[in-house]
Structure 1
Amino acid sequence: MAIRDRGKLKWRPASFMPEGFAMTRAMYKDQERQAKPILDEYQREEFDQQICYAMEFHLRLKLTIWHDGFLQEITGNVHYIDPIKRHLRVESKPGEIQRVDLDCVIGVVVVD
């Protein structure tokens, strides 16, 4: 009696492998996270002054934003400051407005 073997089929990846790959990717992504920097009162005041200056003279800003452990950079013109909700509205491209939380801003540079 001959042994019936499945051949190469038994060596194919099991159905759990895609989830394992996704978990490995998530693990490496979590290792790159950074803690939110603590800003003192003077740095926040300087950021506010630079934002107001850029808004008054229609200059572009380069904002560094901490979001969920990662740093992002947004370059654009400040369209509006909402003091109640503590949001900035930044126009990065003509017609494209992004809302940025003021508490997440960790760096401001006037580009122009």
Structure 2
Amino acid sequence: MGISKLSKGHNLRWESSRMMLPEHVTELNKSRLNNTKSKKPIIDEQQWNEFSLVFTEAQHLDRKIKITIWDDGFFVDIFGWLHNIDLHLKRIRLDIDEFEVEYIDFNDIVSVEFAD
């Protein structure tokens, strides 16, 4: 006796309904992405003091720095030269190259170190 749609223990009855709507695929991809996200670390006062030392030295010696920021669950490294620190707007200006500038909010900064 052969296997048919109605054979006990086989899933052939539902074989034709194995499809996913685009909306389901989108939601599954969002769910997978959310599972890989990291929580934002809390930066304490001591770490901010260390950051300020790196900022000061980088600005005076014109050294390239690497700033790691937290962007919606992911860590992103940005390399450049510190141009200035705006305490009023709570952000720094980082010159990436001759034509590109990046403004980074204090709240997004996770770590600061020299790139060299």
Deviations 1:41-95 (A, max 9, x none): 1111100110121011111000110121111100111112111011011111221
Corresponding residue of 2:115 = 111
- Matched with 1:43 is 47
What is the rounded CA distance, in whole Å, between the counterparts of 1:102 and 1:48 in structure 2?
11
Which residue pairs with 1:67 in the alignment?
Answer: 71
Specify every segment of 5 or more residues in structure 2 that has no aligned partner in the other structure, as ranges. 1-15
- Superposed counterparts of 1:68-83, under 5 Å: 68-83=72-87
Identity of aligned residues (%): 28
C-alpha deviation, 1:38, in angstroms: 1.4
* Equivalent pairs, count: 101
* Residue type at the aligned position of 1:34: S
- Unaligned runs of at least 5 residues, structure 1: 1-10
Q: TM-score, normalised by structure 1?
A: 0.81
TM-score normalised to the size of structure 2?
0.78
- Residue 57 of structure 2 corresponds to 53
Moved beyond 2 Å, runs of 4+: none
Please give the root-mean-square deviation of Cα atoms over the aligned residues, in Å: 1.8
* 1:99 corresponds to 2:103: yes
Partner of 2:12: none
Which residue pairs with 1:19 in the alignment? 23
